[in-house]
Amino acid sequence: MIFFVTLIQKLGKKVQRIKLLPPNEINKIAAGEVVDRPANVVKELVENAIDAGSTKITVHIVDGGKELIRVADDGCGMSPQDAKFCIKNHATSKITSVEQLQEISTFGFRGEALASISAVSKFTLETKEKDGQGIQLKLDGGTLVAESEIPFDQGTDIKIADLFFNVPARQKFLKKRETENRHITQLFHAFCLDYLDIHFKLFVDGRQTVQCPPAKDIISRAAQLWGHNFAQQLTPIETEKKDGRPHITGAITNHEYFRYDRNNIFFFVNKRWIKNYQLSNALLKGYMNVLPPAKYPACCVFIEINPEEIDINIHPRKEEVKFLHPRT
């Protein structure tokens, strides 16, 4: 070891010493695991709104979410103390030990999302719980720059401006406005399909593009999203409930309908929108020799399964699940 250090010094090169990164730099790096595009921010914020028991959730995006992402809800809100805690690393109300991960039925639980998002944006949080005091927190690149009491209705309103303004290397990899809008819209559609009892609204560059009041069933929700003509092509599905077996419900398109892409194929496992090659492949096999080549169906399939039979923590953004017994 001494030989190599001496050799490097003789070559005129500086020896790099191990050092700890500042907290803000750590959060910027962590943000790359949770957030790599605006749709990931929307996902984290809407999931928090759902966990808060919201009945109305409104999302605004400007310039594909690069200029602004705003998520407002009428959920339980937060006390001033909880509001200050929620932007800290690993602050969570969901678990107290790693053993509880298998029992998680809500979305956020690891506690780094808001800290990471605020580290790479200009972040404003306004919130109030019932009979509490409204509070506004403003952060710039993860640093708290303003705190004030405000008049506010129960719920939470979060604004994310100038995403990745302080991480140019990440910012330059963002796609065009239309591409980022498409990712956000598909994600928003998934939330609308998954939570029929919530009133969802989406505004893109000031124009309302999605308006989904509470719906009585998945067919009605599909009509709200894509029109009655599309909804008429859907067939409801449901498997028989058996102990120890997954229960499957939802709707799939008939053989007369097809698309040129897979963007309207939605799978949900225990109310999480997920991506899984095995599920998609099984669906497409069912349409083999029914649809024209290179054409795809649309579906919304819900799978209820024992939480101990899946692993939801295999992906940093919880977009994938691993099945313990995938062939069942």
The total of structural domains in the chain comes to 2
Does residue 175 sit in the same domain as residue 250? no
Q: Where are the alpha helices (DSSP H) in the chain?
A: 2-10, 23-34, 38-51, 80-86, 113-119, 168-171, 177-194, 218-226, 228-231, 277-286
Average pLDDT over residues 196-218: 98
Does residue 139 sit in the same domain as residue 240? no
User: Which residues on adjacent β-strands are paired with residue 225?
Assistant: none
Distance CA 290, CA 18 (A): 61
* pLDDT at site 314: 57
Q: ∠ CA 58-61-64 to the nearest 5 degrees?
A: 150
Domain membership flag for residue 3: no
Mean confidence (pLDDT) of the chain: 86
Work out the pLDDT band at 310, boundaries 50, 70, 90: confident
Domain membership flag for residue 296: yes
pTM: 0.84
Work out the pLDDT band at 17, boundaries 50, 70, 90: confident
Phi-psi region for residue 12, left (φ > 0), alpha (ψ -120 to 50) or beta?
left
Distance CA 44, CA 38 (A): 10
Work out the pLDDT band at 269, boundaries 50, 70, 90: very high
Q: Could you give the 3-state DSSP secondary structure of residue 301?
A: strand
pLDDT digits (tens, 9 = 90+) for 26-40: 666 666 566 889 999
- Please say if the pLDDT value at position 6 is more than 90: no
Does residue 87 sit in the same domain as residue 128? yes
Work out the pLDDT band at 65, boundaries 50, 70, 90: very high
Does residue 80 sit in the same domain as residue 195? yes
* pLDDT at site 277: 84
| Residue 104 token pair | 């998680």
Among 212, 245, 264, the domain boundary falls at 212
Instruction: Assign residue 110 the CATH number of its domain.
Output: 3.30.565.10
Does residue 121 sit in the same domain as residue 184? yes
- Please say if the pLDDT value at position 202 is more than 60: yes
* pLDDT at site 241: 86
Instruction: Assign residue 258 the CATH number of its domain.
Output: 3.30.230.10
Does residue 244 sit in the same domain as residue 208? no
Among 187, 212, 237, the domain boundary falls at 212
Distance CA 236, CA 218 (A): 8
Average pLDDT over residues 240-268: 93
Distance CA 100, CA 121 (A): 31
Average pLDDT over residues 164-187: 92
Average pLDDT over residues 69-81: 96
* pLDDT at site 29: 65
Distance CA 69, CA 124 (A): 11
In 10 A of CB 311, how many CB atoms? 15
Domain membership flag for residue 16: no
Higher pLDDT pick, 91 / 246: 246
Distance CA 2, CA 20 (A): 24
Name 322's Cβ contacts closer than 8 Å, sequence gap at least 6.
Answer: 310, 311, 314
* pLDDT at site 70: 98
Pick the range with the lowest mean pLDDT from 7-21, 166-180, 209-223, 304-318: 7-21
Domain that holds residue 131: 23-212
Average pLDDT over residues 131-156: 96
Does residue 164 sit in the same domain as residue 236? no
Work out the pLDDT band at 18, boundaries 50, 70, 90: confident
Domain membership flag for residue 218: no
* pLDDT at site 244: 78
- Please say if the pLDDT value at position 56 is more than 70: yes
- Please say if the pLDDT value at position 238 is more than 60: yes
Q: Could you give the 3-state DSSP secondary structure of residue 302?
A: strand
Among 159, 183, 212, the domain boundary falls at 212
Residue position matching structure tokens 């400007």: 62
Average pLDDT over residues 193-210: 98
Distance CA 23, CA 32 (A): 15
Does residue 101 sit in the same domain as residue 195? yes
Q: Could you give the 3-state DSSP secondary structure of residue 173?
A: coil
Work out the pLDDT band at 101, boundaries 50, 70, 90: very low
Work out the pLDDT band at 317, boundaries 50, 70, 90: low
Task: Find out whether 136 and 124 touch, Cβ atoms under 8 Å.
Answer: yes
Does residue 38 sit in the same domain as residue 82? yes
Distance of CA 23 to the CA centre of its chain: 24
Please choose, from the candidates 186, 250, 253, the residue with its C-alpha nearest in 3D space to the C-alpha of residue 218. 250
Does residue 208 sit in the same domain as residue 231? no
Does residue 127 sit in the same domain as residue 37? yes
Does residue 114 sit in the same domain as residue 176? yes
